[in-house]
Amino acid sequence: MDLLVVGSGLFGLTIAERAATQLGLKVTIIDRRDHLGGNAYSQVEPETGIEYHRYGAHLFHTSNEVVWDYVNQFTSFTDYVHRVYTTHRGEVFPMPVNLGTINQFFRSAYGPDQARALIAEQAAELGGKEPTNFVEKGISLIGRPLYEAFFMNYTAKQWQTDPAELGPEIISRLPVRFTYDNRYFSDKYEGLPTDGYGPWLERMADHPNIEVVLGTDFFDESQPLHKAATVGQVPVIFTGPIDRYFADQLGALSWRTLDFELEVAATPDFQGTPVMNYSDLDVPYTRIHEFRHFHPERAYTSPKTVIMKEYSRFAGPGDEPYYPVNTAQDREKLLGYRDLTEAEPQVLFGGRLGTYQYLDMHMAIASALSRFDSVVRPWFGAAN
Ligand code: FAD
Ligand code: UDP
């Protein structure tokens, strides 16, 4: 083995694939789960034959040409375009906030300029202050009434953190449009892997130089490929949680976890759309996914449908960490952990868990491609 990759998510898979195909290295990937692919993994629900995303709906989108060319080596993509609706006080609105949402909410027929003027008037309560947190950013983008209807309670359910403590970048992930365009993403390329995420991710590791060892935890000293037995002996790509790598010695970073409730419902169509958000507190889950709607091009014939309710809460010990909460204290701890990484011999910390960063799939792949060139190639004396 020339290189050990801990974690078979898109970051680890991309580095492994590049190392095997570009440098001819022998790569071992370990993962503590019983499948590869990390959170993007999907599988087929046996009763209905419908593909479902085991860790919550994953929509691929990017404007990065390099990433788009790279992923197309392993899969083609459908022409799926993501659209989301949200239920508020018994009424369904399009999300993200667009002219349709604004006019439905205010029972009005504003044109783009009038709607902009209305939001600007509502945002004036900030007195021109540069928004520094989630609430202020929300009010600056959509005004208080829309913020309170669609973001305040949904975010309370999702983050269980005072929105004033959350960063403005979280709400900026969603566009606000003064047109009727209700696409969820604004990227140049968007789609779902034609044969599903499982086959895409498996193809990335399908190389004679890549060995995948599942059910192996890097911190389990009874396994041959554990931390103490490998670090310093072989270069390591670590994509697990950075705080766990250092045994939480500076304190645990805070993460959110999700609980997914999968159900086969006895109707061919439960909600008529792939994702329905629930923006009020009386519904305990944040959203319901209905997977058959992600692939209208497939001839799913089951008279039943697969739905998944998503609940969010703080991660405790033993829970899967999904989203970095990233409070000011977390950011301070992270700086400390980053200092500790400097002293690790030939260990690259990457991906969502390894860098404590929210990364979409295309960002994880872009980061892996660039760190492969800047860090991994030089380890092996290879020129760019
Ligand atoms: P991961 O996929 O998390 O992979 C890390 C791997 O490391 C896991 O398989 C884990 O089991 C393994 N591991 C951890 N610790 C150890 C250990 N000690 N020993 C061995 N193995 C270990 N992105 C999009 O672009 N579009 C979306 O719609 C989207 N939706 C998302 C929805 C949810 C609910 C979540 C959580 C993420 C979503 N993402 C989405 C982000 C996407 O999942 C990530 O970009 C992608 O998974 C990043 O890959 P990664 O390799 O960094 O991490
Ligand atoms: N959000 C919200 N209401 C919605 C959709 C999103 O309040 O109907 C907020 C929520 O705080 C979320 C953030 O906007 O974390 C970003 O939305 P995105 O769809 O990117 O959510 P995530 O990936 O966190 O599920």
Q: What is the pLDDT of residues 20-45, one digit of tens each?
A: 999 999 999 999 999 999 999 999 99
Average predicted confidence (pLDDT) for the chain:
96
Tell me, using a 6 A CB cutoff, whether residue 173 lines ligand 2.
Answer: yes
- Examine residue 305 and state whether it is found in any structural domain, yes or no: no
Indicate if 95 and 70 belong to the same structural domain.
no
- The band of 128, judged by pLDDT with boundaries at 50, 70 and 90, is confident
pLDDT at 119: 97
Indicate if 232 and 332 belong to the same structural domain.
yes
Q: Which ligand is nearest to the CA of 358?
A: 1
Tell me, using a 6 A CB cutoff, whether residue 171 lines ligand 2.
Answer: yes
- Examine residue 197 and state whether it is found in any structural domain, yes or no: yes
pLDDT at 326: 86
Mean per-residue pLDDT, 92-120:
98
- Closest protein CA for atom 46 of ligand 1: 361
> Among residues 173, 203, 220, which one ends one of the domains?
173
Indicate if 23 and 128 belong to the same structural domain.
no
Indicate if 34 and 142 belong to the same structural domain.
no
- Termini Cα distance of the chain: 22
Q: Is 310 labeled as catalytic in the residue annotation?
A: yes
Q: How far is CA 94 from CA 88, 100, 143, 171, in A?
A: 11, 7, 17, 16
pLDDT at 341: 97
pLDDT at 381: 87
- Closest protein CA for atom 24 of ligand 1: 360
pLDDT at 318: 87
Q: Is 287 labeled as catalytic in the residue annotation?
A: yes
Cβ atoms of residues 149 and 105 within 8 Å: yes
pLDDT at 304: 98
pLDDT at 103: 98
What is the pTM assigned to this prediction? 0.95
Q: Is 190 labeled as catalytic in the residue annotation?
A: no
Q: Which residues form ligand 1's pocket by a CB distance below 6 Å?
A: 6-12, 30-33, 38-40, 55-60, 217-219, 239-240, 258, 322, 351-353, 359-362, 364
Position 165 pLDDT exceeds 90: no
Mean per-residue pLDDT, 92-112:
98
Dihedral sign, Cα of residue 219, residue 224, residue 225, residue 228: positive
Strand order in the sheet with 323-324: 91-95, 84-88, 275-278, 287-290, 305-314, 255-265, 323-324
Indicate if 39 and 125 belong to the same structural domain.
no
d(CA 23, CA 16): 10
Q: How many domains does the chain have?
A: 2
Position 383 pLDDT exceeds 70: no
- Examine residue 356 and state whether it is found in any structural domain, yes or no: yes
Position 167 pLDDT exceeds 90: no
Indicate if 88 and 73 belong to the same structural domain.
no
Mean per-residue pLDDT, 171-184:
95
Q: What percent of the chain has pLDDT over 70?
A: 99
- Secondary structure of the chain in HEC code, one letter for each residue: CCEEEECCCHHHHHHHHHHHHHHCCCEEEECCCCCCCHHHCEEEECCCCEEEECCCCCCEEECCHHHHHHHCCCCCECCCCCCEEEEECCEEEEECCCHHHHHHHCCCCCCHHHHHHHHHHHHHHHCCCCCCCHHHHHHHHHHHHHHHHHHHHHHHHHHCCCHHHCCHHHHHCCCCCCCCCCCCCCCCEEECECCCHHHHHHHHCCCCCEEEECCCCCCCCCCCCCHHHHCCCCCEEECCCHHHHCCCCCCCCCEEEEEEEEEEECCCCCCCCCEEEECCCCCCCCEEEEHHHHCCCCCCCCCCEEEEEEEEEECCCCCCCCEECCCHHHHHHHHHHHHHHHCCCCEEECHHHHHCCCCCHHHHHHHHHHHHHHHHHHHCCCCC
Position 117 pLDDT exceeds 90: yes
Catalytic residue of the set 18, 33, 54, 287: 287
Cβ atoms of residues 191 and 112 within 8 Å: no
pLDDT at 384: 60
| Plot region of 204 (φ>0 → left; ψ -120 to 50 → alpha; else → beta) | alpha
- Examine residue 275 and state whether it is found in any structural domain, yes or no: no
Q: Is 34 labeled as catalytic in the residue annotation?
A: no
Mean per-residue pLDDT, 62-74:
98
- Examine residue 342 and state whether it is found in any structural domain, yes or no: yes
pLDDT at 160: 87
pLDDT at 313: 93
Relative to the CA of 153, which ligand 2 atom is closest? 7
Domain range for 132:
84-173
Catalytic residue of the set 177, 292, 352, 371: 177
Mean per-residue pLDDT, 250-262:
95
Indicate if 351 and 244 belong to the same structural domain.
yes
Q: What is the pLDDT of residues 304-355, one digit of tens each?
A: 999 999 999 999 888 999 999 888 899 999 999 999 999 998 999 999 999 9
Q: What percent of the chain has pLDDT over 90?
A: 92
pLDDT at 55: 94
Distance 39 CA to ligand 1 centre (A): 4
Indicate if 215 and 353 belong to the same structural domain.
yes
Indicate if 100 and 235 belong to the same structural domain.
no
Mean per-residue pLDDT, 265-277:
98
- Closest protein CA for atom 3 of ligand 2: 151
Mean per-residue pLDDT, 91-114:
98
Mean per-residue pLDDT, 208-224:
97
pLDDT at 25: 98
- Examine residue 258 and state whether it is found in any structural domain, yes or no: no
Indicate if 66 and 100 belong to the same structural domain.
no
> Among residues 148, 173, 198, which one ends one of the domains?
173
